[in-house]
Structure 1
Protein backbone atom coordinates (compact mmCIF):
# COMPACT_ATOMS: atom_id res chain seq x y z
CA UNK A 1 0.00 0.00 0.00
CA UNK A 2 1.29 3.47 -0.91
CA UNK A 3 1.54 5.70 2.16
CA UNK A 4 2.87 8.80 0.37
CA UNK A 5 -0.41 10.60 1.03
CA UNK A 6 0.11 10.15 4.78
CA UNK A 7 3.53 11.79 4.64
CA UNK A 8 2.15 14.63 2.52
CA UNK A 9 -0.71 15.22 4.93
CA UNK A 10 1.73 15.26 7.87
CA UNK A 11 4.11 17.77 6.30
CA UNK A 12 4.91 20.57 8.80
CA UNK A 13 3.79 23.34 6.45
CA UNK A 14 0.45 21.71 5.67
CA UNK A 15 -0.17 20.85 9.31
CA UNK A 16 0.65 24.38 10.45
CA UNK A 17 -1.89 25.88 8.04
CA UNK A 18 -4.60 23.33 8.85
CA UNK A 19 -4.10 23.70 12.61
CA UNK A 20 -4.33 27.46 12.26
CA UNK A 21 -7.74 27.13 10.64
CA UNK A 22 -9.02 24.66 13.24
CA UNK A 23 -7.81 26.54 16.33
CA UNK A 24 -10.48 29.28 16.41
CA UNK A 25 -13.30 26.77 15.95
CA UNK A 26 -12.03 24.45 18.66
CA UNK A 27 -11.42 27.34 21.05
CA UNK A 28 -14.91 28.79 20.61
CA UNK A 29 -16.50 25.33 20.89
CA UNK A 30 -14.55 24.64 24.10
CA UNK A 31 -15.64 27.90 25.73
CA UNK A 32 -19.30 27.48 24.74
CA UNK A 33 -19.61 23.78 25.62
CA UNK A 34 -17.72 24.03 28.91
CA UNK A 35 -19.63 27.16 29.88
CA UNK A 36 -23.02 25.55 29.24
CA UNK A 37 -22.09 22.24 30.84
CA UNK A 38 -20.47 23.60 34.00
CA UNK A 39 -23.13 26.23 34.69
CA UNK A 40 -25.94 23.77 33.97
CA UNK A 41 -24.38 21.01 36.02
CA UNK A 42 -23.29 23.05 39.03
CA UNK A 43 -26.28 25.37 39.26
CA UNK A 44 -29.33 23.78 37.67
CA UNK A 45 -28.98 19.99 37.62
CA UNK A 46 -30.98 18.28 40.40
CA UNK A 47 -29.04 16.84 43.38
CA UNK A 48 -28.37 13.12 43.52
CA UNK A 49 -30.83 11.15 45.67
CA UNK A 50 -27.96 9.53 47.62
CA UNK A 51 -24.99 11.91 47.42
CA UNK A 52 -26.85 15.22 47.38
CA UNK A 53 -24.91 18.14 45.94
CA UNK A 54 -21.51 16.51 46.44
CA UNK A 55 -22.07 14.54 43.23
CA UNK A 56 -21.69 17.76 41.18
CA UNK A 57 -17.92 17.25 41.09
CA UNK A 58 -18.80 14.65 38.47
CA UNK A 59 -19.05 17.44 35.88
CA UNK A 60 -15.31 18.02 36.20
CA UNK A 61 -14.03 14.64 37.40
CA UNK A 62 -15.59 12.37 34.76
CA UNK A 63 -14.58 14.49 31.70
CA UNK A 64 -11.03 14.77 33.09
CA UNK A 65 -10.79 11.02 33.72
CA UNK A 66 -12.08 10.18 30.23
CA UNK A 67 -9.75 12.65 28.55
CA UNK A 68 -6.74 11.49 30.58
CA UNK A 69 -7.17 7.98 29.20
CA UNK A 70 -8.00 9.11 25.65
CA UNK A 71 -4.92 11.32 25.54
CA UNK A 72 -2.64 8.41 26.42
CA UNK A 73 -4.28 6.19 23.79
CA UNK A 74 -3.66 8.98 21.26
CA UNK A 75 -0.01 9.12 22.34
CA UNK A 76 0.35 5.36 21.86
CA UNK A 77 -1.17 5.67 18.39
CA UNK A 78 1.21 8.51 17.58
CA UNK A 79 4.07 6.33 18.82
CA UNK A 80 3.09 3.55 16.40
CA UNK A 81 2.83 6.02 13.51
CA UNK A 82 6.22 7.49 14.36
CA UNK A 83 7.96 4.12 14.65
CA UNK A 84 6.35 2.45 11.63
CA UNK A 85 6.02 5.29 9.11
CA UNK A 86 8.81 7.55 10.47
CA UNK A 87 6.53 10.58 10.55
CA UNK A 88 8.16 13.22 12.73
CA UNK A 89 4.88 15.08 13.28
CA UNK A 90 3.70 12.05 15.25
CA UNK A 91 6.59 12.57 17.67
CA UNK A 92 5.63 16.24 17.94
CA UNK A 93 2.06 15.26 18.79
CA UNK A 94 3.20 12.69 21.36
CA UNK A 95 5.59 14.96 23.23
CA UNK A 96 3.28 17.97 23.10
CA UNK A 97 0.33 15.93 24.41
CA UNK A 98 2.21 14.41 27.38
CA UNK A 99 2.28 17.53 29.63
CA UNK A 100 -1.38 18.29 28.86
CA UNK A 101 -2.34 14.70 29.64
CA UNK A 102 -0.40 14.83 32.90
CA UNK A 103 -2.27 17.95 34.03
CA UNK A 104 -5.63 16.42 33.07
CA UNK A 105 -4.78 13.21 34.96
CA UNK A 106 -3.77 15.28 37.99
CA UNK A 107 -7.10 17.13 37.77
CA UNK A 108 -8.96 13.79 37.64
CA UNK A 109 -7.10 12.54 40.74
CA UNK A 110 -7.65 15.75 42.72
CA UNK A 111 -11.37 15.97 41.89
CA UNK A 112 -11.69 12.27 42.66
CA UNK A 113 -10.17 12.87 46.08
CA UNK A 114 -12.56 15.76 46.69
CA UNK A 115 -15.46 13.51 45.73
CA UNK A 116 -14.15 10.61 47.78
CA UNK A 117 -13.95 12.52 51.06
CA UNK A 118 -17.74 12.89 51.61
CA UNK A 119 -18.50 9.59 49.84
CA UNK A 120 -15.92 7.25 51.38
CA UNK A 121 -14.80 9.32 54.36
CA UNK A 122 -11.21 9.48 53.06
CA UNK A 123 -9.29 11.60 50.56
CA UNK A 124 -7.45 8.57 49.19
CA UNK A 125 -7.77 4.79 49.30
CA UNK A 126 -5.62 2.28 47.46
CA UNK A 127 -8.54 1.30 45.28
CA UNK A 128 -7.81 -0.45 41.96
CA UNK A 129 -9.22 2.41 39.87
CA UNK A 130 -7.40 5.12 41.84
CA UNK A 131 -4.11 3.22 41.86
CA UNK A 132 -4.20 2.56 38.10
CA UNK A 133 -4.97 6.25 37.48
CA UNK A 134 -1.97 7.19 39.62
CA UNK A 135 0.15 4.82 37.51
CA UNK A 136 -1.16 6.66 34.43
CA UNK A 137 0.12 9.93 35.90
CA UNK A 138 3.55 8.34 36.44
CA UNK A 139 3.54 7.10 32.84
CA UNK A 140 2.94 10.65 31.65
CA UNK A 141 5.81 11.82 33.86
CA UNK A 142 7.98 9.08 32.37
CA UNK A 143 7.30 10.22 28.80
CA UNK A 144 8.02 13.84 29.74
CA UNK A 145 11.23 12.87 31.54
CA UNK A 146 12.47 10.76 28.62
CA UNK A 147 11.75 13.55 26.17
CA UNK A 148 13.80 15.99 28.24
CA UNK A 149 16.61 13.65 29.27
CA UNK A 150 17.66 12.30 25.86
CA UNK A 151 19.49 14.90 23.82
CA UNK A 152 19.26 13.20 20.42
CA UNK A 153 15.87 13.97 18.92
CA UNK A 154 15.46 10.66 17.08
CA UNK A 155 16.46 8.58 20.10
CA UNK A 156 14.16 10.62 22.31
CA UNK A 157 11.26 10.08 19.90
CA UNK A 158 11.82 6.31 19.81
CA UNK A 159 12.08 6.03 23.60
CA UNK A 160 8.91 8.07 24.18
CA UNK A 161 7.06 6.07 21.53
CA UNK A 162 8.03 2.73 23.08
CA UNK A 163 7.02 3.84 26.58
CA UNK A 164 3.70 5.16 25.29
CA UNK A 165 2.94 1.92 23.46
CA UNK A 166 3.93 -0.30 26.39
CA UNK A 167 2.10 1.89 28.91
CA UNK A 168 -1.19 1.78 27.01
CA UNK A 169 -1.82 -1.63 28.62
CA UNK A 170 -2.78 0.37 31.72
CA UNK A 171 -5.84 1.86 29.97
CA UNK A 172 -7.98 -1.33 29.94
CA UNK A 173 -6.85 -1.92 33.52
CA UNK A 174 -8.28 1.48 34.47
CA UNK A 175 -11.49 0.83 32.55
CA UNK A 176 -12.20 -2.67 33.87
CA UNK A 177 -10.64 -2.39 37.33
CA UNK A 178 -14.06 -2.00 38.96
CA UNK A 179 -15.15 -5.26 37.31
CA UNK A 180 -12.02 -7.34 37.81
CA UNK A 181 -11.40 -6.45 41.47
CA UNK A 182 -13.48 -5.70 44.56
CA UNK A 183 -13.47 -1.93 44.18
CA UNK A 184 -14.89 0.95 46.18
CA UNK A 185 -15.08 2.99 43.01
CA UNK A 186 -18.47 2.98 41.31
CA UNK A 187 -18.93 1.65 37.79
CA UNK A 188 -18.97 3.75 34.65
CA UNK A 189 -20.97 6.91 35.13
CA UNK A 190 -20.93 7.94 31.50
CA UNK A 191 -20.58 5.99 28.25
CA UNK A 192 -21.09 6.85 24.59
CA UNK A 193 -22.16 3.28 23.83
CA UNK A 194 -24.66 2.55 26.62
CA UNK A 195 -27.95 4.06 27.71
CA UNK A 196 -27.39 6.74 30.40
CA UNK A 197 -28.06 5.64 33.97
CA UNK A 198 -29.07 9.17 34.98
CA UNK A 199 -32.03 11.37 33.98
CA UNK A 200 -31.48 13.67 31.01
CA UNK A 201 -31.24 16.81 33.16
CA UNK A 202 -28.18 15.26 34.86
CA UNK A 203 -26.34 13.57 31.97
CA UNK A 204 -26.84 16.27 29.32
CA UNK A 205 -24.65 18.83 31.11
CA UNK A 206 -22.11 16.05 31.60
CA UNK A 207 -22.11 15.44 27.84
CA UNK A 208 -21.50 19.16 27.25
CA UNK A 209 -18.53 19.22 29.64
CA UNK A 210 -17.05 16.05 28.13
CA UNK A 211 -17.24 17.44 24.60
CA UNK A 212 -16.03 20.85 25.77
CA UNK A 213 -12.98 19.43 27.51
CA UNK A 214 -12.08 17.39 24.43
CA UNK A 215 -12.33 20.56 22.31
CA UNK A 216 -10.16 22.37 24.86
CA UNK A 217 -7.57 19.59 24.66
CA UNK A 218 -7.62 19.74 20.87
CA UNK A 219 -7.07 23.50 20.87
CA UNK A 220 -4.22 23.35 23.40
CA UNK A 221 -2.56 20.44 21.61
CA UNK A 222 -2.71 22.14 18.20
CA UNK A 223 -1.34 25.36 19.68
CA UNK A 224 1.57 23.53 21.34
CA UNK A 225 2.26 21.55 18.17
CA UNK A 226 2.28 24.69 16.01
CA UNK A 227 4.86 26.27 18.32
CA UNK A 228 7.00 23.12 18.30
CA UNK A 229 6.79 22.89 14.50
CA UNK A 230 7.97 26.49 14.21
CA UNK A 231 10.84 25.71 16.57
CA UNK A 232 11.94 22.64 14.62
CA UNK A 233 11.46 24.21 11.19
CA UNK A 234 12.90 27.62 12.09
CA UNK A 235 15.35 27.58 9.16
CA UNK A 236 12.79 26.54 6.56
CA UNK A 237 11.66 28.99 3.92
CA UNK A 238 7.96 28.55 4.64
CA UNK A 239 8.51 29.60 8.27
CA UNK A 240 10.07 32.87 7.13
CA UNK A 241 7.10 33.37 4.81
CA UNK A 242 4.68 32.81 7.68
CA UNK A 243 6.62 35.23 9.85
CA UNK A 244 6.60 37.92 7.18
CA UNK A 245 2.89 37.35 6.61
CA UNK A 246 2.19 37.72 10.33
CA UNK A 247 4.32 40.86 10.61
CA UNK A 248 2.54 42.32 7.59
CA UNK A 249 -0.89 41.69 9.11
CA UNK A 250 0.22 43.23 12.45
CA UNK A 251 1.53 46.32 10.63
CA UNK A 252 -1.93 46.96 9.23
Structure 2
Protein backbone atom coordinates (compact mmCIF):
# COMPACT_ATOMS: atom_id res chain seq x y z
CA UNK A 1 0.00 0.00 0.00
CA UNK A 2 2.73 2.46 1.00
CA UNK A 3 4.82 1.63 -2.07
CA UNK A 4 1.78 2.19 -4.27
CA UNK A 5 1.22 5.61 -2.71
CA UNK A 6 4.88 6.52 -3.18
CA UNK A 7 4.78 5.49 -6.86
CA UNK A 8 1.55 7.45 -7.34
CA UNK A 9 3.11 10.51 -5.69
CA UNK A 10 6.24 10.34 -7.83
CA UNK A 11 4.18 10.00 -10.98
CA UNK A 12 2.06 13.06 -10.23
CA UNK A 13 5.07 15.17 -9.20
CA UNK A 14 6.85 14.34 -12.46
CA UNK A 15 6.12 17.06 -15.04
CA UNK A 16 5.92 14.48 -17.83
CA UNK A 17 3.49 12.21 -16.00
CA UNK A 18 1.43 15.12 -14.75
CA UNK A 19 1.14 16.50 -18.27
CA UNK A 20 -0.08 13.14 -19.56
CA UNK A 21 -2.44 12.21 -16.73
CA UNK A 22 -3.98 15.65 -16.29
CA UNK A 23 -5.29 15.93 -19.86
CA UNK A 24 -8.28 13.54 -19.51
CA UNK A 25 -8.82 14.71 -15.93
CA UNK A 26 -9.16 18.36 -16.97
CA UNK A 27 -11.56 17.35 -19.74
CA UNK A 28 -13.97 15.52 -17.43
CA UNK A 29 -13.66 18.12 -14.68
CA UNK A 30 -14.57 20.80 -17.21
CA UNK A 31 -17.68 18.97 -18.37
CA UNK A 32 -18.78 18.20 -14.81
CA UNK A 33 -18.26 21.84 -13.85
CA UNK A 34 -20.30 23.04 -16.83
CA UNK A 35 -23.20 20.75 -15.94
CA UNK A 36 -23.16 21.79 -12.29
CA UNK A 37 -22.87 25.52 -12.98
CA UNK A 38 -25.63 25.56 -15.58
CA UNK A 39 -27.92 23.66 -13.20
CA UNK A 40 -27.02 25.81 -10.20
CA UNK A 41 -27.31 29.18 -11.93
CA UNK A 42 -30.55 28.40 -13.76
CA UNK A 43 -32.04 27.03 -10.54
CA UNK A 44 -30.73 29.84 -8.35
CA UNK A 45 -31.43 32.76 -10.66
CA UNK A 46 -34.79 31.62 -12.02
CA UNK A 47 -36.47 29.13 -9.71
CA UNK A 48 -35.20 29.74 -6.16
CA UNK A 49 -37.76 31.60 -4.00
CA UNK A 50 -37.51 35.32 -3.34
CA UNK A 51 -35.77 36.19 -0.08
CA UNK A 52 -38.04 37.79 2.51
CA UNK A 53 -35.85 40.82 3.32
CA UNK A 54 -33.51 41.24 0.35
CA UNK A 55 -35.89 40.32 -2.44
CA UNK A 56 -34.24 39.22 -5.66
CA UNK A 57 -30.94 40.98 -4.90
CA UNK A 58 -29.82 38.00 -2.79
CA UNK A 59 -29.45 35.91 -5.96
CA UNK A 60 -25.97 37.38 -6.47
CA UNK A 61 -24.81 34.92 -3.78
CA UNK A 62 -24.81 32.11 -6.36
CA UNK A 63 -21.81 33.87 -7.92
CA UNK A 64 -20.43 35.85 -5.00
CA UNK A 65 -20.13 33.11 -2.37
CA UNK A 66 -18.31 30.57 -4.60
CA UNK A 67 -15.97 33.26 -5.96
CA UNK A 68 -15.14 34.56 -2.47
CA UNK A 69 -14.57 31.02 -1.17
CA UNK A 70 -12.37 30.02 -4.13
CA UNK A 71 -10.33 33.22 -4.02
CA UNK A 72 -9.25 32.36 -0.47
CA UNK A 73 -8.86 28.62 -1.10
CA UNK A 74 -6.67 29.21 -4.16
CA UNK A 75 -4.39 31.56 -2.20
CA UNK A 76 -4.02 28.94 0.55
CA UNK A 77 -3.18 26.35 -2.12
CA UNK A 78 -0.54 28.66 -3.62
CA UNK A 79 1.07 29.07 -0.19
CA UNK A 80 1.09 25.30 0.41
CA UNK A 81 2.54 24.58 -3.03
CA UNK A 82 5.12 27.31 -2.51
CA UNK A 83 6.16 25.74 0.79
CA UNK A 84 6.43 22.31 -0.88
CA UNK A 85 8.56 23.82 -3.63
CA UNK A 86 10.85 25.61 -1.19
CA UNK A 87 11.32 22.67 1.18
CA UNK A 88 11.23 19.61 -1.09
CA UNK A 89 12.38 21.27 -4.33
CA UNK A 90 9.46 19.88 -6.31
CA UNK A 91 9.41 22.11 -9.35
CA UNK A 92 5.93 21.03 -10.41
CA UNK A 93 4.61 22.71 -7.24
CA UNK A 94 6.08 26.00 -8.46
CA UNK A 95 4.57 25.51 -11.92
CA UNK A 96 1.09 24.90 -10.54
CA UNK A 97 1.39 27.68 -7.96
CA UNK A 98 2.27 30.20 -10.67
CA UNK A 99 -0.70 29.22 -12.82
CA UNK A 100 -3.06 29.40 -9.83
CA UNK A 101 -2.35 33.13 -9.54
CA UNK A 102 -4.35 34.43 -12.56
CA UNK A 103 -7.20 32.10 -11.60
CA UNK A 104 -7.13 33.52 -8.07
CA UNK A 105 -7.07 37.06 -9.44
CA UNK A 106 -10.18 36.31 -11.49
CA UNK A 107 -12.01 34.91 -8.47
CA UNK A 108 -11.02 37.84 -6.24
CA UNK A 109 -12.16 40.37 -8.87
CA UNK A 110 -15.45 38.49 -9.31
CA UNK A 111 -15.99 38.36 -5.54
CA UNK A 112 -15.36 42.10 -5.15
CA UNK A 113 -17.48 43.02 -8.19
CA UNK A 114 -20.46 40.89 -7.18
CA UNK A 115 -20.11 42.12 -3.61
CA UNK A 116 -20.35 45.70 -4.86
CA UNK A 117 -23.40 44.85 -6.98
CA UNK A 118 -25.06 43.29 -3.93
CA UNK A 119 -23.96 46.11 -1.64
CA UNK A 120 -25.56 48.93 -3.62
CA UNK A 121 -29.23 47.91 -3.03
CA UNK A 122 -28.49 46.40 0.39
CA UNK A 123 -26.17 48.96 1.99
CA UNK A 124 -26.89 51.90 -0.31
CA UNK A 125 -23.26 52.13 -1.49
CA UNK A 126 -21.01 50.37 -3.98
CA UNK A 127 -18.06 50.35 -1.61
CA UNK A 128 -17.43 50.77 2.09
CA UNK A 129 -14.08 50.50 3.87
CA UNK A 130 -15.51 47.61 5.81
CA UNK A 131 -13.11 45.09 7.41
CA UNK A 132 -14.27 42.22 5.19
CA UNK A 133 -14.19 44.26 1.98
CA UNK A 134 -10.83 45.82 2.81
CA UNK A 135 -9.21 42.48 3.63
CA UNK A 136 -10.58 41.03 0.37
CA UNK A 137 -9.05 43.98 -1.49
CA UNK A 138 -5.74 43.22 0.25
CA UNK A 139 -6.07 39.64 -1.02
CA UNK A 140 -6.42 40.91 -4.59
CA UNK A 141 -3.36 43.13 -4.12
CA UNK A 142 -1.40 40.12 -2.82
CA UNK A 143 -2.37 38.17 -5.93
CA UNK A 144 -1.23 41.05 -8.14
CA UNK A 145 2.02 41.22 -6.18
CA UNK A 146 2.66 37.52 -6.75
CA UNK A 147 2.07 37.89 -10.48
CA UNK A 148 4.27 40.99 -10.63
CA UNK A 149 7.11 39.13 -8.90
CA UNK A 150 6.98 36.35 -11.47
CA UNK A 151 7.05 38.83 -14.35
CA UNK A 152 9.77 40.99 -12.80
CA UNK A 153 12.33 38.22 -12.38
CA UNK A 154 14.64 37.39 -15.27
CA UNK A 155 14.92 33.74 -14.22
CA UNK A 156 11.63 31.87 -13.63
CA UNK A 157 13.18 29.98 -10.70
CA UNK A 158 13.86 33.26 -8.89
CA UNK A 159 10.27 34.34 -9.44
CA UNK A 160 9.07 31.00 -8.08
CA UNK A 161 10.98 31.40 -4.82
CA UNK A 162 10.15 35.09 -4.35
CA UNK A 163 6.45 34.51 -4.98
CA UNK A 164 6.42 31.51 -2.63
CA UNK A 165 7.86 33.60 0.20
CA UNK A 166 5.35 36.41 -0.38
CA UNK A 167 2.49 33.88 -0.51
CA UNK A 168 3.54 32.43 2.84
CA UNK A 169 3.75 35.89 4.40
CA UNK A 170 0.36 36.84 2.97
CA UNK A 171 -1.38 33.83 4.52
CA UNK A 172 -1.89 35.98 7.62
CA UNK A 173 -4.60 37.82 5.68
CA UNK A 174 -6.79 34.71 5.32
CA UNK A 175 -7.90 34.46 8.97
CA UNK A 176 -8.48 38.23 8.93
CA UNK A 177 -10.90 37.76 6.03
CA UNK A 178 -12.55 34.80 7.73
CA UNK A 179 -13.05 36.35 11.17
CA UNK A 180 -13.34 40.03 10.26
CA UNK A 181 -17.12 40.03 10.77
CA UNK A 182 -16.61 38.64 14.29
CA UNK A 183 -13.60 40.72 15.34
CA UNK A 184 -14.97 44.08 14.16
CA UNK A 185 -18.33 45.77 13.79
CA UNK A 186 -18.80 45.44 10.02
CA UNK A 187 -21.58 45.89 7.50
CA UNK A 188 -20.92 42.48 6.02
CA UNK A 189 -23.21 39.75 7.27
CA UNK A 190 -21.76 36.68 9.07
CA UNK A 191 -21.04 33.51 7.11
CA UNK A 192 -24.19 31.78 5.89
CA UNK A 193 -22.60 28.32 5.71
CA UNK A 194 -21.02 27.04 8.91
CA UNK A 195 -19.79 23.56 9.76
CA UNK A 196 -21.00 23.80 13.35
CA UNK A 197 -24.51 25.07 12.61
CA UNK A 198 -27.31 24.09 10.23
CA UNK A 199 -27.62 26.63 7.39
CA UNK A 200 -30.49 29.11 7.91
CA UNK A 201 -31.55 28.84 4.27
CA UNK A 202 -34.49 27.32 2.50
CA UNK A 203 -33.45 24.06 0.76
CA UNK A 204 -34.49 25.57 -2.58
CA UNK A 205 -31.86 28.28 -1.99
CA UNK A 206 -29.23 26.13 -0.28
CA UNK A 207 -29.11 23.37 -2.89
CA UNK A 208 -28.22 25.56 -5.90
CA UNK A 209 -25.71 27.43 -3.75
CA UNK A 210 -23.91 24.20 -2.85
CA UNK A 211 -24.04 23.06 -6.48
CA UNK A 212 -22.58 26.40 -7.56
CA UNK A 213 -19.73 26.12 -5.05
CA UNK A 214 -18.94 22.60 -6.26
CA UNK A 215 -19.17 23.71 -9.89
CA UNK A 216 -16.81 26.63 -9.28
CA UNK A 217 -14.40 24.30 -7.52
CA UNK A 218 -14.34 21.80 -10.39
CA UNK A 219 -14.07 24.58 -13.00
CA UNK A 220 -11.14 26.07 -11.08
CA UNK A 221 -9.42 22.67 -10.90
CA UNK A 222 -9.86 22.15 -14.65
CA UNK A 223 -8.64 25.68 -15.41
CA UNK A 224 -5.53 25.25 -13.24
CA UNK A 225 -4.74 21.86 -14.78
CA UNK A 226 -4.95 23.28 -18.30
CA UNK A 227 -2.77 26.28 -17.44
CA UNK A 228 -0.27 24.08 -15.61
CA UNK A 229 0.05 21.80 -18.63
CA UNK A 230 0.96 24.83 -20.75
CA UNK A 231 3.43 25.99 -18.10
CA UNK A 232 5.06 22.54 -18.10
CA UNK A 233 5.56 22.67 -21.86
CA UNK A 234 7.11 26.13 -21.55
CA UNK A 235 9.46 25.21 -18.71
CA UNK A 236 10.34 21.72 -19.98
CA UNK A 237 10.61 22.62 -23.68
CA UNK A 238 14.22 21.40 -23.85
CA UNK A 239 13.22 17.88 -22.79
CA UNK A 240 12.74 15.44 -25.65
CA UNK A 241 9.17 14.52 -24.71
CA UNK A 242 8.19 18.20 -24.48
CA UNK A 243 9.78 18.98 -27.85
CA UNK A 244 7.85 16.10 -29.41
CA UNK A 245 4.62 17.41 -27.92
CA UNK A 246 5.33 20.94 -29.14
CA UNK A 247 6.15 19.58 -32.58
CA UNK A 248 2.79 17.83 -32.69
CA UNK A 249 1.12 21.08 -31.70
CA UNK A 250 3.04 22.97 -34.40
CA UNK A 251 4.87 25.14 -31.86
CA UNK A 252 8.38 24.08 -32.85
CA UNK A 253 9.77 23.97 -36.36
* TM-score scaled by length of structure 1: 0.93
The C-alpha deviation readout for 1:45-70, integer Å capped at 9, x for no partner, is 00110000010001000010000000
Instruction: Please point out which of 214, 229, 234 is paired with 1:231.
Output: 234
Whether the 8 Å CA contact 2:72–2:174 is kept in 1: the answer is yes
* Farther off after superposition, 96-105 or 2-11: 2-11
Q: How far apart are 1:242 and its partner, in Å?
A: 3.4
* Pair 1:99 & 2:134 matched: no
Shift of 1:243: 4.7
Match of 2:223 among 220, 225, 234: 220
Query: Could you tell me how far apart the structure 1 residues matched to 2:226 and 2:218 are?
Result: 12
Q: For 2:122 and 2:92, how far apart are their aligned partners in 1?
A: 44
* 1:13 matches 2:30: no
Q: Given that residues 104 and 143 in structure 2 are in contact (C-alpha distance below 8 angstroms), is that contact kept between their aligned partners in structure 1?
A: yes
Q: Which moved more, 1:230-239 or 1:73-82?
A: 230-239
The alpha-carbon deviation at position 238 of structure 1 amounts to 1.4
Contact 1:116 1:123 in 2 (8 A): yes
Q: Is it true that 1:205 corresponds to 2:208 in the alignment?
A: yes
2:158 alignment counterpart: 155
| Deviation (angstroms), 1:236 | 1.2
Separation (CA, whole Å) in 1 of partners of 2:49 and 2:6: 53
Could you list the per-position Cα deviations for residues 174-215 of structure 1 after superposition, in whole angstroms to 9, with x for gaps in the alignment? 000000000110000224564211011001000111010111
- The reply to whether residue 46 of structure 1 matches residue 49 of structure 2 is yes
For the 8 Å contact 1:7–1:87, the answer to whether it is kept is no
Match of 2:92, SS state, is helix
RMSD (Å), alpha carbons: 1.8
Secondary structure at the aligned position of 1:67 is classed as helix
| C-alpha displacement of 1:154 | 2.0
Match of 2:147 in 1: 144
Unaligned runs of 5+ in 2: none
Q: Which runs of 5 or more structure 1 residues have no equivalent in the other structure?
A: 248-252
Q: 1:24 to 1:193 in 2, by over 3 A?
A: farther
Q: Call closer, same or farther: CA 1:217–1:123 in 2, change over 3 Å.
A: same
CA distance in 1, matches of 2:104, 2:185: 28
2:173 maps to 1:170: yes
Question: Is 2:68 aligned against 1:65?
Answer: yes
Deviations 1:155-178 (A, max 9, x none): 211100000111011111100000
Question: Matches of 1:184 and 1:59 in 2, distance apart?
Answer: 20
Asked if 1 retains the 8 angstrom alpha-carbon contact of 2:66 and 2:212, the reply is yes
Which segment drifts farther, 194-203 or 98-107? 194-203
